[in-house]
């Protein structure tokens, strides 16, 4: 038994010695690989640096001699430093490795000599560079070829050494297990040791490899802290797993970015179109919602693109919250969104989705605020093809915007014709000024108590050769939608001041300013310049704005209005009481005058609520030291009620209808 023990011991020692030598061979080869990697990196750097310098010389550019000398020194060091290492010279190193490194060393010397010669030629003149370049490139090619061959030899030798190490380990296990059959106690102890130190890690490695092959992630590999070959394998598995996980992460990110909007994370147009086509091909009913943000351009123009991006992200969150997991929510570009919504319950499901969107958007309190206009089209009712369905939804969206925004409209066939008519009207409106079709009329504003005319409001009128007189309620929204109100508003402003220049100094002139004008930073300077040109005192001019403009376009608008007020121009809040934030606007911006909307004046006699609103508005204006003007006064009874409430000024057909004025103006009014 003692002899068996010593025999087993000797066999084990022999096996361990062989494994140790195999490990040393693996370490030696790994050291050679690292040396080769470092030399390759130095060769790439030197090659690029020499290429940059010689190209500069060929272009006739001056190259610092010190730079050329430094490159020569680097080439010399590279040629002398790429020698056969002590590890490679060992007898047990594979002959192919030793030969490959010897060839690499010779190639490095030749490359160093050619590089030095090329740099010498570059220092002499540019023409010599071209003559010396082929030899340099041949030396470089030879060196790179020898390095490639050497690397292949190293890899093969490393694979063979690793395979030999594993084979030796397995042979040792088998031999020891066989011997342990004879000595039971020794075998049991040795088996336990082998299981814990060798077999368990190998089984774990095999399982990890299977998971990696299946594309699964490996969370932990046993034995990474070991300093033997199994530790090396464990660390190799960890490195491989991390590399594969990073690759999967990058691939997933690329896939996501190819089909999603990077700002909001929503589906992009490509993914939207794919899902829409798939949904329609399946034949199931669905709704397509085309969605635009109202007032988004103003946010970008006044607060910058960072604020606009924040609004887009908030509104995208609203759409996601309102939708279900079966819906596809996409950003089509800019402030345009779209939703594909399956309709298992019919069109009522689409209406419920729209209601949820508006409810969540209304609950948004963050500034700047934004609201939605929505167009809805249904498949297969309105269309069965993706392009046609989206076009129907877009037409419905256009109707929603035309009807006042912040609302939804369901597509119907009549919208196509209406849209064509509005486009035609926009086309005609663009040339209306040049053709002399537009003119300005003036509606008087009177002192409520005395009836004396205190000023006039300038209003635009359009007379089309085919349509006749076109109502402002028709052409103003068309002008706003097509960006024409800036030009029309500036024309009205100059026409009004030109006419008012002939009026008595007691008569004022009121002009409406559009949002497009107010967003122009040069508006205040332009208006005051016209006042000086027509010799009209600034205090005779009033500008009327709606509260929504001040709320949504705050920065530039407020700057313009402050500048006008500082010069003496009066600022009037038009249509007071019809918005949602009138009191807040009055508190934050000091208006000079408030105009009560005509809808409240018209219902004063029969509607107690309207009468209370008029009374409260007049009292509010008095407490804030603001004049109050009542619009739409058409009857003597309305005039008497307004006088009884203490209204300062009135405007309407009872006082006078809008008319052209060219000379002297009246000073009294009816009533």
Provide the 10 A C-beta neighbour count for residue 579. Answer: 16
Pairing, β 371-379 against β 593-596: unpaired
Is 335 an annotated catalytic residue? yes
Question: How far is the C-alpha of 271 from the C-alpha of 261, rounded, in Å?
Answer: 10
C-beta separation of 38 from 131 below 8 A: no
Average pLDDT for runs of 10 along the chain of length 671: 62 70 72 75 79 76 78 77 49 70 79 78 73 78 80 77 77 72 71 67 65 63 64 66 67 66 87 91 90 79 76 91 92 90 81 91 78 91 88 86 85 74 82 89 94 94 89 83 87 93 92 89 94 94 80 73 93 74 64 89 86 89 90 93 93 92 53 44
To which H or E segment does residue 239 belong?
Answer: helix 229-259
Output the CA–CA distances (angstroms, integers) from residue 278 to 256, 272, 282, 428, in the order listed: 19, 10, 6, 42
CA-atom Rg of the chain in angstroms: 43
The dihedrals phi and psi of 219, each to the nearest 5 degrees, come to -80, -35
Q: Which SS3 state, helix, strand or coil, does residue 53 take?
A: helix
Q: What is the pLDDT of residue 306?
A: 82
Which residue out of 327, 335, 394, 520 is catalytically annotated? 335
- Tell me the two tokens of residue 84: 């056969």
Instruction: Compute CA distances 116 → 83, 108, 144, 657, whole Å.
Output: 18, 12, 18, 97
Q: What are the residues facing 439 on neighbouring strands?
A: 461
Distance CA 419, CA 396 (A): 10
Strand order in the sheet with 286-294: 328-333, 336-342, 286-294, 371-379, 408-410
Residue 573, helix vs strand vs coil: strand
101: nearest Cα among 111, 86, 116? 86
pLDDT of residue 91: 54
Structural tokens at position 9 = 């011991």
pLDDT of residue 669: 45
- Which has the closest alpha carbon to 291: 350, 356, 375? 375
For residue 424, what pLDDT is reported? Answer: 83
User: Residue 668 has what pLDDT?
Assistant: 45
């Amino acid at each position: 038994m003692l002899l068996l023990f010593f025999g087993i011991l000797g066999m084990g020692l022999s096996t361990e010695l062989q494994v140790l030598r195999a490990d040393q061979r693996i370490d030696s080869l790994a050291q050679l690989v690292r040396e080769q990697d470092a030399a390759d990196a130095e060769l790439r750097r030197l090659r690029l640096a020499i290429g940059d310098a010689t190209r500069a010389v060929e272009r006739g550019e001056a190259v610092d001699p010190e730079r050329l000398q430094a490159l020569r020194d680097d080439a010399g060091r590279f040629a002398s430093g790429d020698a056969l290492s002590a590890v490679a010279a060992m007898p047990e190193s594979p002959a192919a490795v030793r030969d490959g490194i010897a060839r690499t060393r010779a190639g490095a010397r030749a490359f160093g000599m050619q590089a030095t010669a090329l740099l010498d030629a570059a220092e002499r003149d540019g023409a010599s560079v071209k003559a010396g370049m082929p030899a340099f490139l041949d030396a470089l090619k030879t060196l790179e070829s020898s390095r490639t061959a050497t690397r292949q030899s190293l890899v093969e030798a490393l694979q063979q050494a690793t395979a030999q190490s594993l084979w030796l380990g397995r042979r040792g296990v088998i031999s020891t297990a066989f011997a342990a059959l004879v000595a039971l106690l020794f075998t049991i102890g040795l088996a336990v040791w082998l299981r814990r130190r060798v077999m368990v890690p190998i089984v774990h490695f095999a399982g990890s490899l299977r998971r990696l092959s299946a594309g699964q992630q490996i969370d932990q590999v046993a034995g990474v802290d070991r300093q033997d070959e199994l530790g090396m394998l464990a660390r190799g598995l960890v490195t491989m797993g991390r590399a594969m996980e990073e690759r999967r992460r990058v691939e997933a990110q690329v896939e996501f970015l190819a089909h999603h909007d990077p700002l909001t994370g929503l589906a992009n147009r490509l993914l939207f179109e794919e899902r829409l086509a798939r949904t329609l091909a399946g034949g199931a009913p669905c709704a397509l919602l085309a969605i635009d943000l109202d007032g988004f351009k103003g946010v970008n123009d006044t607060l910058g693109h960072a604020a606009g991006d924040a609004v887009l992200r908030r509104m995208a969150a609203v759409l996601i919250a309102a939708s279900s997991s079966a819906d596809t929510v996409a950003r089509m570009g800019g402030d345009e969104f779209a939703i594909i919504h399956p309709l298992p319950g019919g069109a009522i499901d689409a209406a419920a989705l729209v209601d949820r969107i508006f409810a969540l958007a209304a609950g948004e309190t963050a500034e700047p605020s934004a609201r939605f206009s929505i167009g809805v089209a249904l498949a297969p009712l309105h269309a069965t093809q993706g392009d046609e369905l989206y076009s129907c939804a877009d037409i419905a969206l256009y109707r929603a915007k035309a009807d006042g925004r912040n609302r939804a409209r369901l597509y119907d066939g009549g919208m196509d014709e209406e849209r064509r008519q509005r486009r035609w009207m926009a086309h005609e409106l663009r040339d209306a000024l040049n053709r002399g079709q537009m003119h300005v009329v003036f509606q008087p504003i009177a002192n409520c108590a005395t009836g004396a005319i205190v000023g006039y409001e300038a209003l635009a009128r359009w007379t089309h050769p085919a349509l006749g007189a076109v109502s402002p309620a028709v052409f103003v929204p068309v002008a706003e939608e097509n960006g024409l109100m800036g030009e029309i508003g500036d024309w009205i402003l100059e026409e009004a001041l030109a006419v008012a220049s002939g009026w008595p100094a007691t008569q004022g002139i009121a002009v409406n300013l559009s949002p497009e004008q107010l967003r122009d930073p040069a508006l205040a300077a332009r208006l005051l310049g016209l006042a000086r040109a027509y010799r009209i005192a600034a205090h005779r001019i009033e500008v009327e704005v709606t509260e929504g403009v001040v709320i949504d376009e705050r920065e530039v608008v407020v700057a313009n209005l402050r500048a006008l007020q500082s010069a003496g121009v009066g600022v009037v809040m038009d249509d007071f009481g019809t918005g949602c934030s009138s009191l807040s606007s009055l508190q934050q911006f000091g208006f000079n005058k408030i105009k009560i909307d005509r809808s409240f004046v018209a219902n004063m006699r029969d509607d107690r609520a309207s009468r209370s609103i008029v009374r409260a508005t007049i009292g509010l204006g008095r407490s804030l030291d603001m004049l109050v003007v009542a619009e739409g006064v058409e009857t003597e009874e309305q005039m008497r009620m307004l006088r009884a409430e203490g209204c300062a000024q009135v405007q309407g057909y009872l006082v006078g209808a809008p008319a052209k004025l060219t000379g002297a103006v009246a000073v009294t009014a009816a009533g």
